[in-house]
Amino acid sequence: MKSDTNISLTSARPMQKVLVGAFIISFSAVWVGFADVPATTSAFYRVAFGAIFLFIAAVFTGELKQINLTQVFPYSICGLLFALDLFCWHKSILSVGPGLATILGNCQVFIMAICGALFLGEKLTPRFVFSLPIAIFGLLLLIGFDWSGLSQSSTRGIIYGLLTALSYALFMLMLRRVQASTDGELLYSPLLFVSAFCAVFLAVPIFMTDTSLVIPDLESFGSLLALGLFSQAAGWIIIATAMPKIPASLTGLVLLLQPFLAFLWDVTLFSRPTTFVHWLGVLITLTAIYLGISGKQN
């Protein structure tokens, strides 16, 4: 009886770690909202601070000695795509709020599946095809059916959110291809290189547009530091180490915790005006995203 209990506890630990990781990452948009800096600046500091923490971890674990230089160029492409993702997402956050921006970005699951079908020969399951119109309906409930009534800022934020989904999907597809060609044993250094290249690419529009890199106060500095440490480094490392150890059928449900919590933080911390119809839209959209994720696994 005692051994059965130990087995049960051991199998539960990866799930607990993934839930903790998703909880940590759900605050990403919150840190962006608290930081009183332009969108590109907050994106830059996220990956720059994250790269510093990941570099320290890679040095202490000896991973830097195991780097295959042939992977550096593919990681730079990943960094470029991730830079586009963060640029669009942070712009969306400042226009429509953390909750909606995060839900829009998580629609990348549909773009990934469609790209897989068009370019990689993957098949779309009936469940996935069924989930796509449901997601669109849920988003319309959340956004509103009358686009002409939206402010220019809201419309711009929604477009940036959809571009986030596109760039994030391309990033994930490229990263999956790069990781498939490696031994998969490196934990910190891949994300380190992606973060470092991402910071370089984000620095380009910052200097070209004279965007300020000044952090105006301690609250903004603390928010950006937390964004780099928890969102870019710790949260993803926790998920990366635990995700392979949980059943694939639970992966989709776990991944939905992050956008749901992000919307909840938007309502509670930023007083987002939310009606029953909006919550219904959130529920329908997240359900569709789950169907899309699980549909790819069938």
Residue-wise pLDDT tens digits, 223-260 = 999 999 998 899 888 877 776 676 655 655 666 778 88
> What's the pLDDT at 135?
86
Residue-wise pLDDT tens digits, 271-286 = 888 888 889 988 988 8
6 pLDDT higher than 60: no
> What's the pLDDT at 4?
44
13 pLDDT higher than 90: no
Whether residue 215 contacts residue 37, with contact meaning beta carbons closer than 8 Å, is answered with yes
> What's the pLDDT at 8?
40
Residue-wise pLDDT tens digits, 77-127 = 999 999 999 999 999 998 888 888 988 888 888 888 888 778 777 777 788
10 pLDDT higher than 80: no
Whether residue 109 contacts residue 231, with contact meaning beta carbons closer than 8 Å, is answered with no
Task: Classify residue 8 as exposed, middle or buried by CB count within 10 Å of its CB (0-12, 13-18, 19+).
Answer: exposed
Whether residue 21 contacts residue 242, with contact meaning beta carbons closer than 8 Å, is answered with yes
Which phi-psi region, left, alpha or beta, contains residue 62 (left: φ > 0; alpha: ψ -120 to 50)? left
Residue-wise pLDDT tens digits, 119-144 = 777 777 788 788 888 888 888 887 77
Residue-wise pLDDT tens digits, 192-205 = 999 999 999 999 99
Distance CA 146, CA 116 (A): 32
Whether residue 92 contacts residue 153, with contact meaning beta carbons closer than 8 Å, is answered with no
Whether residue 225 contacts residue 52, with contact meaning beta carbons closer than 8 Å, is answered with no
Neighbours of 95 (CB within 10 A): 21
Residue-wise pLDDT tens digits, 178-195 = 766 665 577 788 889 999
1 to each of 5, 12, 14, how far by Cα in Å?
A: 6, 17, 22
Confidence of residue 43 (pLDDT cuts 50, 70, 90): very high
> What's the pLDDT at 126?
82
> What's the pLDDT at 5?
41
pTM of the model: 0.83
Residue-wise pLDDT tens digits, 156-185 = 999 999 999 999 889 888 887 776 666 557
